[in-house]
Structure 1
Amino acid sequence: MNKEFQLTLDDVGSNGNQNIETLFALANGFLGVRASLPIAEEGCNAGSFVNGFYETSDITYGENAYGYAKQHQTMVKLFDFRTIELKINDCDKFTLSSRQMNLDMGKGVLQEKYVYTTSLNQEVQIEIESFASHKNRSVYAQKWRIMPLNFSGTIGVNKQAVHIQPNKVREDDPRKKESSAALQIDEEKVQTKNSGQILYYRFDDYQSEKLVEIGEEISFVQCYEMSKTPLSSIKIDYEVMKEAQQTIFQDFWSISDIELEGNVQLQKGIRFNLFHLFSSAGRDGKTNFSAKGLTGEGYEGHYFWDTEMYLLPFFIFTQPEIAKSLLQYRRNILPKAKERASELGYKGALFTWRTINGEETSAYYPAGTAQLHINADIAYAFELYEKVTGDTKFLSSAKDVLYETARFWLDYGFYSKRGFELHEVTGPDEYTALVNNNYYTNQMAKNNLYYAVKLANQYQEYVEEAVDWKKAADAMFVGYDEEKKLTKQDDSFLEKEKWHFEQTPKEKYPLLLHYHPMKIYKYQVLKQADVLLAHMLFPRGVEQEKRDFDYYEPLTTHDSSLSKAIYGVVASRIGYEKKAYDFFKESAIMDLEDTHENANHGIHAANMGGCWLGLIYGFAGLRVEGEEIVFHNHLPKEFTSLKFRYLHKGNVQEVVLTQDEKTNGDFGSS
């Protein structure tokens, strides 16, 4: 693998400890470990997580109401696997003198080298090699080498996994929440107090005290195992598991790599994003993909619509087995979705806005539960999976998801003189809440209903209901302003006063941290792509999309990390090459440069998926048309070529775009 698969500290815009812990974190879909310093210092945030291992606590409302979410679900910060206790000739105070880190993304292995200095100027070098095993996902493995550089003497080593105690410090940011918990711990397992979850563990501790000469080293291997079921007694061979790790990553990159010539930094950013997507995706059908992956505690480890609309296209086209597992999670929580719909007084199923176990945990319903489009997002992902993979067997086992979501739309909506309408919903733009006929929501619900009709007719079941679903889809109202020639984000958006951007200082962004919702909601201002996201999925023609882009993009703060990638895709398709390049660039390096100034909480997973969309849906112009995959070359002048592979119904396809081969027409690859 060449250097573009190696991530070093030189590639990171901000060298704050917590940012580094996130960017160099290791994960395998089951467990994740932040890359904290081996000798702890103030400002570090060491931690390990297990996907779907969470604690619950009651949500306290000053004024409660029927149907509000009842409990927090918070992914638990577990053990510190990284900190070592070191003593040199009875001295245990150290200063970090130098630090080197190399994340070999091609092999899934992290290599580190530190030099620490005592108050007596004794220098000791620590080298660590580690990986979160993709062969055995219960394992996080480390190999240590400790060496005196300018002295001979006694080195004492104590290396144990330590439970991270709950931290009482709170930050006034709704995107964060304390994630450590008071666990019940015995010699073989840990158990949460409220949710009753059990995690089995086995750790290799290491203690020694040795007299060593200059250049002589102390070396040892540690393997940490955690599992939701009792562990086997099979001994782990570090080198064998490391070799398997390299093979798995080689196979991953053989399909999923993207080669973009013209900018070395962006090429590395792309691979960094794809590395973390592969690392944090749940594989067992019972877990999903947290908003921050398994790299940090942001958003409490919750699963959102991010998975379906931003991450699943990448997995569907390059890693369909992972895509199937992520969709299976939604199938498995369907009973919870039906319970939620019933609780709110509706038929069918309503998937929750943010969750781990399938129950709603969003305490602010206008920007949570009211985002009913989650139902249609999930339906869209199932449909895309079937179209691209041809896996009708899986869809036949999961088609109830489509039927139950269709039943919800039919019950929630109503017929008027204008057609079938959906009122009091919130679309993707969380700066506009509880509106009538959000364009994105209505378009997605329409697609959801049509897909349910297709399946009902195909499998000859619920055919009478399907007649009603089709009637509602045919009559779905979508707003359009004939005078302005604009797609209406909702019934009232275009009638509002525009936000006074010129009077909003830079330090007042993101708006949600500085203005009350009642201030934000009354203006024309967007947090993220809304109408334009719908256009990405359901094209309306270049001229209409240009008008909508020109109107809505200047009103968008891009306070959400989900925003710029989508505007970039649409910019590519309508010929705004410079804007497409700029939006893609920001998406590719968002975490590496910490442009949102919160990478310390964890990666921005949806943006990483959005980066893939920017390349494949944007620059390559990918569309799924019936049984065919169609492309259009929109490669910006900043790049000389774009090369990638994808899977279509089990067959590997390769696409190469160059500046010389730009055309005005589509070309297919099926």
Structure 2
Amino acid sequence: MNEFTVGLGDLGNTSIQNVETLFAQANGALGVRSSLPILDPDSNPGSFLNAYYESHDIIYGENAYGYAKKHETMVKLFDMRSIDIEILGDDNLKLQKEDISLDMAKGILNEEYIYSTIDGEKIKIELESFASHFDRNVYAQKIIITALNFSGQVSINKSVKHIPAKKDEDFDPRVKEASVNLIVEENKYTTPNSNLSFFVNFDKINENLEINEGESVTFKQIYQISRENKFTNPTYDHLKEKQIEIFNRFWESSDIEIEGDERLQKGIRFNLYHLFNSAGRDGHSSFGAKGLTGEGYEGHYFWDTEMYLLPFFVYTQPEIAKSLLTYRTNILDKARDRAEELGFKGALFAWRTIDGHETSAYYPAGTAQLHINADIAYAFELYEKVTGDSEFIEKSADVIFETARFWYSYGFKSERGFEIHEVTGPDEYTALVNNNYYTNKMAQNNLNYACKLAKRMNVNIEEAAKWEEASNEMYLGYDIERGITKQDDSFLDKQVWDFENTPKENYPLLLHYHPMTIYKYQVLKQADTILAHMLYDVSNEQMERDFDFYEPLTTHDSSLSKAIYGVVASKIGRSDVAYKFFKEAATMDLEDQQGNSSHGIHAANMGGSWLGLLYGFAGLNINNGEVIIHNNLPKEIKSLKFTLTINGEKREILIK
């Protein structure tokens, strides 16, 4: 078994659109779904540019002040893969056999298909393709076509095909039609509303050939998409050579070796492969919830990037982490504008966005998730702890200061301490509450980090004293009688959701129940208080009590949930539970556990599977540059080997 290779046999669901997602090729700037070379009616082909979007007005039945004004939707661009083929004048070809092999070690996808005419003439199509990490404007393909059992004329035509807009009738708030009728001028393509342009250059294939039985013809094709109308003249072979070099370096820094479970070994490498492929590198793009593999969540960037994905990059690919954080500094002015619009000081980052504006039309589970401010500050702090790059942090300090100013402006001092009201925590099945524990804990850290940074830089000294006071007096709810950390002021007073009489087909709840119904009950979509416990130390006894209380109330309807519960299970010594959760996180997309991988990968869960191994099984922490490891390996895993980059130095760690 080669754990660096994934084929069709490794997938739990080989539906056409699922395959298109899981074998998609991307490089942080450009992503291409791996659609069939001869399209099937069920195909959903497409390519994407990171941060390339169309906007349109959000239409509200009842509008109100401060609501998000515009949608931003990542645009599905071209079908770059389909080939028009005629065999002896017949273009009605049927797929007889397919074989797909993703070589993760090299970053190259290999495919083989056999098609036949109605009269039985057969051709073999072999494809080798990759999104170039050396030249991120490029998607490259090598095509070999072989006549298997006939001689005669074969017509081959291959170009780029713009995907026109279509109406998606399915109800699922997580998916929105991404195709747009672009304005075309020669090789320039422009969105009608957002007025964003890109340019295309490619080698077109248009051949009528006489092929003898057993004979093959080979084509090498380079597609280039540039926002600046600047194109190079790369060769396929040179790009391939560079691709292999880059992936060699990637695995040297980022590979994780698991002894004892081959399925999980393949699963974690598959996840890391996709994380490397979809992360923005230019400081003006980030990491969409579905990466660059599908149109789920409209290509938006959420808190997922900072809390679930950044740790992997911070510890293994710090330059990518720096680029993702730079994106936040580049949209800071829009976050300032948003805070001002809502009547507060500082900056409030958008809950879901591409260019920095808030695009969430449902504010109770959108703008109200103020914790995104503190999540971003936490990620900057983690970056500094692991890399020692204080220079970058001090250049970016306004992100930390402005988010602290927001908390101080939004919260208030009471007899109980510093309180934060009308927020929604990570558990989106509970909304608009007072003193969400996770939010308050993260805001406390944000204020404290801002205070330390201000003192270090000798700036904002008067404000820093106020931030420090608010941090020290942060109210964190606790039920003394039950010994439970309160998720918020009201959660423990609600009725428990009737899990016993909720049919399996009614999950996820958000697709079957009105929010008001869900909000009435003790029921969680994902880890909330438990996520805070993963990040900040509390006693093992407290973690156990909270775990035993909150986990049975959690539906895990969000793909972000299981990995976090798995890490905390490791911390409290429940290795069997931790292993179960990690196993599900590591193979979620390979096995299509959520039933919607066709919409794109679950990127946050992929980052969560790294957290499960490193924060959970390896007990990873860092304190004053010192790496702290605890062996929490479950019995199923004999050893765990990984590499970290700390203060610019690679450290190889083995636990067994």
How would you bin the TM-score normalised by the shorter chain? over 0.9
Is the deviation greater in 282-291 or in 622-631? Answer: 622-631
Tell me the residue number matched to 1:229.
228
Question: How far apart are the structure 2 equivalents of 1:206 and 1:92?
Answer: 17
Question: How far apart are the structure 2 equivalents of 1:280 and 1:444?
Answer: 27
Aligned-residue offset at 1:487:
0.3
Question: How far apart are the structure 1 equivalents of 2:603 and 2:254?
Answer: 16
Question: How far apart are the structure 1 equivalents of 2:440 and 2:561?
Answer: 20
Aligned-residue offset at 1:629:
1.7
Pairing partner for 1:400 from 398, 401, 425: 398
Pairing partner for 1:583 from 581, 584, 587: 581
Q: Any idea what SS the aligned residue of 1:502 has?
A: coil
Question: How far apart are the structure 2 equivalents of 1:541 and 1:609?
Answer: 26
Tell me the residue number matched to 2:318.
320
Question: How far apart are the structure 1 equivalents of 2:320 and 2:100?
Answer: 29
Q: Does 1:90 align with 2:86?
A: no
Aligned-residue offset at 1:169:
2.3
**Amino acid aligned to 1:583:** F
Deviations 1:304-357 (A, max 9, x none): 000000000000000000000000000000000000000000000000000000
Question: How far apart are the structure 1 equivalents of 2:316 and 2:567?
Answer: 19
Deviations 1:431-470 (A, max 9, x none): 0000000000000000000000011000000001101000
Is the deviation greater in 382-391 or in 181-190? Answer: 181-190
CA contact (8 A) 1:113 1:125 kept: yes
Structure 2 portions without partners, runs of 5+? none
CA contact (8 A) 1:414 1:420 kept: yes
- 1:67-216 pair list within 5 angstroms: 67-216=66-215
Q: Any idea what SS the aligned residue of 1:200 has?
A: strand
Question: How far apart are the structure 2 equivalents of 1:231 and 1:204?
Answer: 16
Question: How far apart are the structure 1 equivalents of 2:535 and 2:431?
Answer: 22
CA contact (8 A) 1:569 1:619 kept: yes
CA contact (8 A) 2:11 2:590 kept: yes
Aligned-residue offset at 1:170:
2.8
- 1:509-520 pair list within 5 angstroms: 509-520=507-518
Q: Does 1:270 align with 2:278?
A: no
Q: Does 1:547 align with 2:545?
A: yes
**Amino acid aligned to 1:109:** I
Question: How far apart are the structure 1 equivalents of 2:246 and 2:79?
Answer: 26
Question: How far apart are the structure 1 equivalents of 2:326 and 2:545?
Answer: 39
**Amino acid aligned to 1:404:** E
Pairing partner for 1:564 from 562, 569, 579: 562
Question: How far apart are the structure 2 equivalents of 1:503 and 1:3?
Answer: 44
Question: How far apart are the structure 2 equivalents of 1:178 and 1:397?
Answer: 39
Tell me the residue number matched to 2:429.
431
Question: How far apart are the structure 2 equivalents of 1:439 and 1:265?
Answer: 37
Q: Any idea what SS the aligned residue of 1:340 has?
A: helix
Q: Does 1:505 align with 2:507?
A: no
Aligned-residue offset at 1:186:
2.1
Tell me the residue number matched to 1:527.
525
Q: Any idea what SS the aligned residue of 2:55 has?
A: strand
- 1:401-416 pair list within 5 angstroms: 401-416=399-414
Question: How far apart are the structure 1 equivalents of 2:464 and 2:229?
Answer: 46
CA contact (8 A) 2:625 2:646 kept: no
Aligned-residue offset at 1:248:
0.2
Percent same amino acid at aligned positions? 62
Tell me the residue number matched to 2:44.
45
Question: How far apart are the structure 2 equivalents of 1:145 and 1:616?
Answer: 42
What TM-score do you get using the length of structure 2 for normalisation? 1.00
Aligned-residue offset at 1:578:
0.8
**Amino acid aligned to 1:502:** E
Tell me the residue number matched to 2:494.
496
- 1:351-500 pair list within 5 angstroms: 351-500=349-498
Q: Any idea what SS the aligned residue of 1:3 has?
A: coil
CA contact (8 A) 1:409 1:445 kept: yes
Aligned-residue offset at 1:655:
1.1
Question: How far apart are the structure 2 equivalents of 1:227 and 1:464?
Answer: 48
Q: Any idea what SS the aligned residue of 2:500 has?
A: helix
Question: How far apart are the structure 2 equivalents of 1:650 and 1:627?
Answer: 11
Q: Any idea what SS the aligned residue of 2:245 has?
A: helix
Q: Does 1:58 align with 2:57?
A: yes
Question: How far apart are the structure 2 equivalents of 1:85 and 1:188?
Answer: 21
CA contact (8 A) 1:170 1:177 kept: no
Tell me the residue number matched to 2:298.
300
Aligned-residue offset at 1:236:
1.4
Aligned-residue offset at 1:627:
2.8
CA contact (8 A) 2:308 2:608 kept: yes
Question: How far apart are the structure 1 equivalents of 2:167 and 2:406?
Answer: 41
Aligned-residue offset at 1:189:
1.1
**Amino acid aligned to 1:93:** N
Tell me the residue number matched to 2:344.
346
What TM-score do you get using the length of structure 1 for normalisation? 0.97
Question: How far apart are the structure 2 equivalents of 1:75 and 1:474?
Answer: 42
Question: How far apart are the structure 2 equivalents of 1:215 and 1:324?
Answer: 52
**Amino acid aligned to 1:628:** E
Question: How far apart are the structure 2 equivalents of 1:174 and 1:532?
Answer: 26
Deviations 1:217-268 (A, max 9, x none): 1211110000111213x31111011000000000000010000011111100
Is the deviation greater in 217-226 or in 327-336? Answer: 217-226
Question: How far apart are the structure 2 equivalents of 1:527 and 1:306?
Answer: 15
Question: How far apart are the structure 2 equivalents of 1:335 and 1:624?
Answer: 32
Is the deviation greater in 161-170 or in 377-386? Answer: 161-170
Question: How far apart are the structure 1 equivalents of 2:177 and 2:487?
Answer: 36
Q: Any idea what SS the aligned residue of 2:174 has?
A: coil
CA contact (8 A) 2:168 2:176 kept: no
CA contact (8 A) 1:73 1:361 kept: yes
CA contact (8 A) 1:450 1:469 kept: yes
Deviations 1:100-145 (A, max 9, x none): 0111000000010000011001110000000100000000000001
CA contact (8 A) 1:256 1:318 kept: yes
Deviations 1:169-188 (A, max 9, x none): 23211100000101001222
CA contact (8 A) 1:170 1:178 kept: no
Aligned-residue offset at 1:215:
1.1
Question: How far apart are the structure 2 equivalents of 1:470 and 1:392?
Answer: 21
Tell me the residue number matched to 1:645.
643
Question: How far apart are the structure 1 equivalents of 2:3 and 2:368?
Answer: 43
**Amino acid aligned to 1:178:** E
CA contact (8 A) 1:201 1:226 kept: yes
CA contact (8 A) 1:528 1:559 kept: yes
**Amino acid aligned to 1:589:** T
Tell me the residue number matched to 2:634.
636
Tell me the residue number matched to 1:665.
none
CA RMSD across the alignment: 0.6
